[in-house]
Structure 1
């Protein structure tokens, strides 16, 4: 990952060669696709700019979809846009593997006033906690990127994944602007 972290940016298009296509049997799937790319030392990546190519960066799920779903696929990752309407204070946490991290629960609401609880871990807490501590005049709209659903004791919630999830609060994002305008 560290080899490609500085070369590949989200929401950008690339020409790539010398990679391997493998069956996507990973425990956590960022994509519903059956196959994924595996990079090796010979892999070459070159950024291209084709403005006419439509790029849908997010795969949104709605709160009613998540709550109303009869089958919960806990290892499938998705995206969500919502307003933060409540929070708990961040807490220190030690995972089952001994890793020290943080945990914070927030309440999210969509435009139809549907609510869902969201649990953030690690870097997602670090990114969002300072914004939650500020006095705000406008609602805090977030895009949750690569989150997963969790159902426990009959209640459905969403939660971040330690390694993959991000919380985006950039007001210039088209999805945040559309949510705010509606």
Structure 2
């Protein structure tokens, strides 16, 4: 789904697939809800039309992106694909979050979609 479609929607919890590149990332935070601890990291994604979208990654997805950035050359872009993520409002604007048991996270994957995106 395009960033414009997500940003103009008011419907939360819609399952979508997105592709964009990471332009900002926050620090990992630990949260606790009903006795369960979890990690979360907030990212800002940008598409090829320069639209920006907030993305929160929880749990193992937060761990995966943190591990990826440890060894990543910051001079090259990070193209992120999220399959089966969900739309959710964050600070009044629509964004995306991973679903705990269904979202697939691909970072700079060796895929035609990533090559097409980078060729932009």
TM-score normalised to structure 2 length: 0.89
1:66 aligns with 2:2: no
Name the count of aligned residue pairs.
119
Aligned equivalent of 1:143: 81
Could you say what the CA RMSD is over the residues aligned between the two structures, in angstroms? 1.5
**Residue 163 and residue 99 in structure 1: after superposition, are their counterparts in 2 closer, same or farther (change >3 A)?**
farther
Q: Which has the higher contact order (CA 8 A, sep 6+)?
A: 2
Deviations 1:102-122 (A, max 9, x none): 100000000010001101100
Q: Please list, as runs of the form range in 1=range in 2, the aligned pairs for 1:129-140 lying within 5 A after superposition.
A: 129-133=66-70, 134-140=72-78
Aligned equivalent of 2:60: 123
Deviations 1:70-129 (A, max 9, x none): x41x23211100000000010112233x22221000000000100011011001111111
Query: Highest Rg: 1 or 2?
Result: 1
Separation of aligned partners in 1, 2:90 and 2:68: 28
Secondary structure at the counterpart of residue 67 of structure 2: helix
Q: Please list, as runs of the form range in 1=range in 2, the aligned pairs for 1:100-119 lying within 5 A after superposition.
A: 100-119=37-56
Unaligned runs of 5+ in 1: 1-60
TM-score normalised to structure 1 length: 0.61
Which residue, out of 101, 105, 112, partners 1:163?
A: 101
**Residue 153 and residue 128 in structure 1: after superposition, are their counterparts in 2 closer, same or farther (change >3 A)?**
closer
Aligned equivalent of 1:174: 112
Runs of 4+ residues deviating >4 angstroms: none
Separation of aligned partners in 1, 2:113 and 2:15: 18
Report the Cα offset of residue 131 of structure 1: 2.0
Aligned equivalent of 1:24: none
Deviations 1:117-159 (A, max 9, x none): 1011001111111222333221000101111111245311111
